[in-house]
Amino acid sequence: MMLQQHLLFVLYSFCGIAIKEAATKNKVKGSQAQFPITQNVTVVEGSTANMTCRVDYNDNTSLQWSNPAQQTLFFGDKKALRDNRIELVRASWKELTISISEVALSDEGQYTCSLFTMPVKTSKAFLTVLGVPAKPEITGLSRPAQEGEDVTLTCTTSGSKPAADIRWFRNDKEVQGQKEVNATGRSFMVRSTIHLKVDRTDDGAAYTCVVEHIALGSLPHQVTEVLEVHYPPQVQIVRSVIVPQEGQYFKLECVSKGNPLPEPVFWTKDGGELPDVERMIVEGRDLIITTLNKTDNGTYRCEASNQLGTNRDEFTLYVYDPNALTQPGPDHALIGGVVAVVVFITLCFIIVLGRYLARHKGTYLTNEAKGAEDAPDADTAIINAEGNHAHAEEKKEYYQGAARNVVHLKSENLGFANNYALRQEYVRCIM
């Protein structure tokens, strides 16, 4: 009996320990899972912010949201603060979600979700509100500018948070401006300024101010102003025909630019009025001569004026005779080419001939010198020039025989005696 009681006591003790350990483990697990989870939220001013608080394990403990001023917004599904912008989205033991509509910059701050356990557990979520920049405005163009004037353009935008970026464009090309940022409460006012010394090329130029901000996404604000610059006229005369001829239709166009536009333009010839108003017709900016003749030769002037000054351009007209223009003239290029070829061929011939004469002259002088070394007279020198002295007598006998043949030549063959070689042989034979 005692043994049975002892066994029962041990069994109960073991079961109690096991139950106690299980309860302790569950308590630890529950305390670890009973912890609120939140996330930071960023919204654009004027939109709606959803604040969510979750727990993975909750033993029927209430959740609560409070604002940066520690005012309770919702306790469970019960609304605590009278603000029509704040609404309940979802309430359960594991989640409490509320919404704040028409969010203002003043709503920004740290919100708290509380889980009422022992002790109370909390989680923080920061609400960031982006201030939307207002549409920009360009100032500094109250009146048209004059050429050479200094102009300052300023682009201003307010209400941005964080501060917006401003970029300037002249037509499609970006230009640099000077940026200035000033805080106004919770938002910022941003200005950007550009300084210009305008000229006539700026007349009609479009200056655009572009405001970029994270709250605007890919659709930035922008505003454009077109610059108007006044400047004196610029005049140029353009002719319709390059070579004006008698009998042709001819037009001179007076191209005048200026702001204000110079109207009208005035045409004169040689400092006076147009002499033939029947043939010389002024239409707007154009001077038309219906039929050209030689009397139209002269200097024509176009003059244009506006409030800022006067300018002019001149054109000297010379009317050509069409018959003179059609007569063919000498082809100077062809003549020059032929002359160049002839000169080249002549020079080449002179050079070749000179080299030939110089070469044969040297050979003749060399042979003559060889024959004259031991000759007592000129004839002997010539004989010696064609051979040496040892064969002189042999050649003499040859020449004597040739001379006898010459004496017996018939009259019709005497012409051959004029041959220089035969005459030399004859002379040497009779010597």
360 within domain boundaries:
no
**Is there a domain that residue 270 lies in?**
yes
pLDDT interval class at 47 (50, 70, 90): very high
CA distance readout (Å), 288 to 245, 250, 273, 300: 14, 6, 14, 12
Answer yes or no: is 299 within a domain.
yes
Q: Which own/partner contact pairs does 383-390 have at CB distance under 8 Å and 24+ positions apart? A: 383/428
Q: Give the residue from 302, 281, 298, 303 showing the smallest Cα distance to 290.
A: 281
Tokens of 295: 């009397």
Give pLDDT, residue 289.
94
| Mean pLDDT across 260-289 | 91
Residue 372 pLDDT exceeds 60: no
List pLDDT tens digits, range 392-426: 455 445 445 544 544 444 444 444 444 444 445 54
The CATH number assigned to the domain holding 83 equals 2.60.40.10
- Chain mean pLDDT for the chain: 81
Confidence of residue 57 (pLDDT cuts 50, 70, 90): confident
- CA pseudo-torsion sign 386, 387, 392, 394: negative
Q: Establish if 30 belongs to a structural domain.
A: no
Residue 14 has pLDDT above 50, yes or no: no
Q: Does residue 177 share a domain with residue 102?
A: no
Is 70 exceeded by the pLDDT of residue 336? yes
Are residue 200 and residue 239 in the same domain, yes or no? Answer: no
pLDDT at 231: 94
pTM of the predicted model as reported, rounded to 2 decimal places: 0.60
Q: Determine the Cα–Cα distance for residues 86 and 63; give it in Å rounded to an integer.
A: 16
First CA to last CA distance, the chain: 197
pLDDT per residue as tens digits for the range 245-258? 999 999 999 999 99
Number of domains in the chain: 3
- Tell me: do 112 and 177 sit in the same domain: no
Q: What counts of helices (H) and strands (E) characterise the chain?
A: 6, 25
CB 424 within 8 A of CB 399: no
CA distance 286 to 45: 62
Is 44 in the same domain as 121?
yes
Residues 6+ apart with CB under 8 A from 186: 105, 106, 108, 131, 161
Q: Answer whether residue 22 shows pLDDT above 70.
A: no
Q: How confident is the model at residue 353 (pLDDT cuts 50, 70, 90)?
A: confident
- Between 4 and 414, name the one with better pLDDT: 4
* Structural contact between residues 349 and 334, judged by C-beta atoms closer than 8 angstroms: no
Q: Which of 132, 203, 210, 215 shows the shortest CA–CA distance to 177?
A: 210
Q: List pLDDT tens digits, range 181-220.
A: 999 999 999 999 999 999 999 999 999 999 999 999 999 9
Nearby residues of 71 by Cβ (< 8 Å), 6 or more positions away: 80, 81
pLDDT at site 309: 92
User: What is the structure's pLDDT at 56?
Assistant: 87
Instruction: With cut-offs at 50, 70 and 90, classify the pLDDT of residue 380.
Output: low
In the block, tokens 């912008």 appear at 85
Same domain, 142 and 191: yes
pLDDT at position 410, please?
A: 45
Mean pLDDT of 19-44: 65
- Average pLDDT (370-397) is 51
Residue 5 has pLDDT above 60, yes or no: no
Residue 282's domain comprises 232-317
Q: ω before 162 within 30° of 0 (cis)?
A: yes
Structure confidence at residue 55 (pLDDT):
93
pLDDT at residue 107, as a whole number: 95
Q: What average pLDDT does the segment 320-336 reach?
A: 71
Do 179 and 212 reside in the same domain of the chain?
Answer: yes
Q: Is residue 162 part of a domain?
A: yes
Given 174, 196, 227, the domain boundary residue is: 227
Q: What is the pLDDT of residue 146?
A: 92
> Based on the domain organization, do 202 and 251 belong to the same domain?
no
Considering the domain boundaries, does residue 370 fall inside one?
no
Q: What is the pLDDT of residue 335?
A: 82
Residue predicted with more confidence, 427 or 136 = 136
- 267 found inside a domain: yes
Are 141 and 180 found together in one domain? yes
Cβ pair 59, 30 in contact under 8 A: yes
Q: Are residues 57 and 99 in the same domain?
A: yes
Residue 240 and residue 161 in one domain: no
Distance CA 301, CA 312 (A): 7
65-69, 126-130, 421-425: which range is least confident on average?
421-425
Q: What is the DSSP letter of 144?
A: P
What whole-number distance in Å separates Cα of residue 194 and Cα of residue 154?
Answer: 7
What is the per-residue pLDDT for 39? Answer: 95
Question: Between these two residues, 333 and 221, which has the higher pLDDT value?
Answer: 221
Closest CA relative to residue 207, chosen from 167, 158, 178: 167
Is 223 among the domain residues? yes
377, pLDDT greater than 80: no
Residues 293 and 260 in one domain: yes
DSSP-based three-state secondary structure for 141: coil
- The predicted structure's pLDDT at residue 361: 63
Task: Please write the tens of the pLDDT for every residue from 131-186.
Answer: 999 999 999 987 899 999 999 999 999 999 999 999 999 999 999 999 999 999 99
Q: Which of 162, 192, 227 is a domain's end point?
A: 227
Q: Is the predicted pLDDT of residue 310 greater than 60, yes or no?
A: yes
Is residue 21 pLDDT above 70, yes or no?
A: no
Sign of the torsion angle spanned by Cα atoms 282, 283, 285, 287: negative
Q: At which of 111, 130, 149 does a domain end?
A: 130
As given in the structure block, the two tokens for residue 340 are 């160049």
Nearest to 295 by CA among 323, 276, 314: 276
Q: Which of 103-112, 322-331, 339-348, 384-393 has the highest mean pLDDT?
A: 103-112
- Range picked from 5-19, 205-219, 324-338 for highest mean pLDDT: 205-219
Closest C-alpha among 184, 42, 164 to residue 103: 42
Backbone angles phi, psi at 338, to 5 degrees: -65, -45
Longest Cα separation, the chain: 199
Are both 213 and 268 inside the same structural domain? no
